[in-house]
Structure 1
């Protein structure tokens, strides 16, 4: 059983003065939702997600050893982190506090961080403020880069440890980021029938996945591209003392068990029931918290009703899921893509802000560039 202390390095066997790494990491969409957390980004319930392919963050990390005079402070007594942050090539000061907080959280696991000056240059393949969670892809990409530097300092590191620790670190930046590191279906959180599952990091779903779910499609309808109405941190905190929280956490375990069987059998009707119920439950928890929020927009409901009507009339296995916002993820098997995309263009685009939507599908996780 892994504990956080397993990720504290003993010593490094190599040195490196400067260089750079570059990784892309994708966003992901949860099927069983994580909502509610304990201290240190530990989830209150397990979750499982599809890793996306096209919606990703590309981050380049430049690093150089800091010139610290021993008589001033000594190389190990540096008190501050040193980094520049660029977003799409331009300085982005308002992102810096989040990176600063991330570095503070992970320093015990990466004790070299204060010895270097970093230049973090990041960009997304999807429009900024498109309502797609970029914290998951962004923190995962940054974690991969930091792990590449640690592997340069410790070349004996195994691949398994590299990816597991990257997921562990990403989680400390943004919980769902731990599901954006490796694998096309990822489980995060302790679950009895998922071997190796952990609250500390995401693991690749270890059981059989039916051919029905290979190359599964996700078309993201951008209903509202504005700033998030409720930050994730505030939203998760609403689960403390929530009247329905304990039953919700139990339901997540039950639904993950159901999905494990569904992934093996390929039963799309049952898949739709679990996934849509999970999406609506997430929003129900926010509507019944104190303070309470309605994050759907009228057009979100129009899209949901249109999907139900279309599925009922055509028997095409298309369904929706939602994150903590108004945008709709339309999920469907690859073999019905033509019909579903036609339906989206004919009936759903009208409900999207400026007619915008993004076509995506299941991907593999982070990639070194």
Structure 2
């Protein structure tokens, strides 16, 4: 593996060859669902209650980075996440995933121990699909070192770690087919990223703190107690999947936006229908919903679509021509409380954008200014999926470089 070994010092390369280390380093993206996955019919196999559709974002702004190294000289499987060593045995899904990977690899590698080092460049467990990026990254790297190349197979493996991770194996727009068993539940690409190059995503970071109710726990509660979740899965999702797929293929943003927002609202309605109710969105989240509806109302069409995963952060889809105006509006109604946001990433206007006075008056009639509502803003685009990189997180001995 030229890329990973080229980053090692000469002394490390010798040790690496002597120790028979195989390694790969991968970056994998976040995906943001427009038709939500919520609920499982099989917890162990991670089989979804319904199909879902997502957009894979660019790794340039949001990604997990993972190095996987395997060797016959490692004494045990080890993992480091965001600088801290984690116990693999306590993570049942990870143990199950590694078992399945070993079951698909060459006989000579089945007894090799695995070292994993991973980091995210965005808040973990804050509703930004960190587990999806993390497990997709891990599986893609494992697939590289164990020579498991089929993307469908990698999607099935990623699903065992985190359901949404199966979608991050692909770029562009992706559908997770829920299936009826482990072999029939996988993701497939609807269109690649270059099908709709004008599409953009702006993420408003309301909170980077871990949520009170994890997605796994929340899904279990909803499946047990919500009547709406089962009606949605059987009666609503199939038509929405067909309709939004058509909108994506035709690049019909108005329809795409309407379905995206309605499905987000219904997902959070299911959370409210769960007993006891789950609340992922907060008051800032709902103020963003109000602002986007007022903005779309002014133009008489859907120019922006909001969607919220299991957290308060707002993901806004729009076309490139709308980004500068929306960012100016966000800055007007949600000015940073300090000199600037904690972090800004991606595409931002180089010059100040003037908001048309009629539009501003329309929005001000319905929206209050809330200072310091967001800790960060990420402006990004559709991405191509996981990629190999050269900067290994593990040294020639299979230990973290930092």
Tell me, yes or no, whether TM beats 0.5: yes
Show CA shifts across 1:226-285 (max 9, x none): 211211111221223521233210311110111122123332221121000000100000
1:110 to 80, 102, 113: 102
Q: Secondary structure at the match of 1:110?
A: helix
CA RMSD of aligned residues (A): 2.5
Change (3 A) 1:91 1:138: same
Distance (Å, rounded) in 1 between the aligned partners of 2:88 and 2:379: 27
TM-score by length of 2: 0.74
| Alignment-derived partner of residue 245 in structure 1 | 229
Alignment of 1:251-266 (within 5 A): 251-266=236-251
In the alignment, structure 1 segments of 5+ residues that lack a partner are 1-15, 69-81, 152-156, 192-197
Distance (Å, rounded) in 2 between the aligned partners of 1:335 and 1:354: 23
Distance (Å, rounded) in 1 between the aligned partners of 2:170 and 2:197: 16
* Contact 2:34 2:54 (C-alpha < 8 Å) held by counterparts: yes
The size of the alignment, in residue pairs, is 323
2:186 to 201, 204, 215: 201
| Alignment-derived partner of residue 236 in structure 1 | 219
Distance (Å, rounded) in 1 between the aligned partners of 2:284 and 2:133: 27
The answer as to 2:87 corresponding to 1:124 is no
| Alignment-derived partner of residue 310 in structure 2 | 324
Q: Secondary structure at the match of 1:293?
A: coil
The answer as to 2:271 corresponding to 1:283 is no
* Contact 1:26 1:366 (C-alpha < 8 Å) held by counterparts: yes
User: Bigger shift: 43-52 or 103-112?
Assistant: 103-112
Distance (Å, rounded) in 1 between the aligned partners of 2:132 and 2:281: 21
Alignment of 1:1-369 (within 5 A): 17-39=20-42, 40-53=45-58, 54-66=61-73, 82-88=76-82, 90-93=83-86, 97-98=90-91, 101-111=93-103, 115-128=111-124, 130-151=126-147, 159=149, 161=150, 163-190=151-178, 199-205=184-190, 213-237=196-220, 238-249=222-233, 250-315=235-300, 317-349=303-335, 350=370, 353=373, 355-369=375-389
TM-score by length of 1: 0.80
Q: Secondary structure at the match of 1:253?
A: helix
Change (3 A) 1:368 1:210: closer
Distance (Å, rounded) in 1 between the aligned partners of 2:22 and 2:193: 40
* Contact 2:127 2:310 (C-alpha < 8 Å) held by counterparts: no
* Contact 1:221 1:352 (C-alpha < 8 Å) held by counterparts: no
Change (3 A) 1:129 1:245: closer
In the alignment, structure 2 segments of 5+ residues that lack a partner are 1-18, 336-369, 390-402
Moved runs in structure 1, 4+ residues, more than 4 A?
Answer: 208-211, 349-354
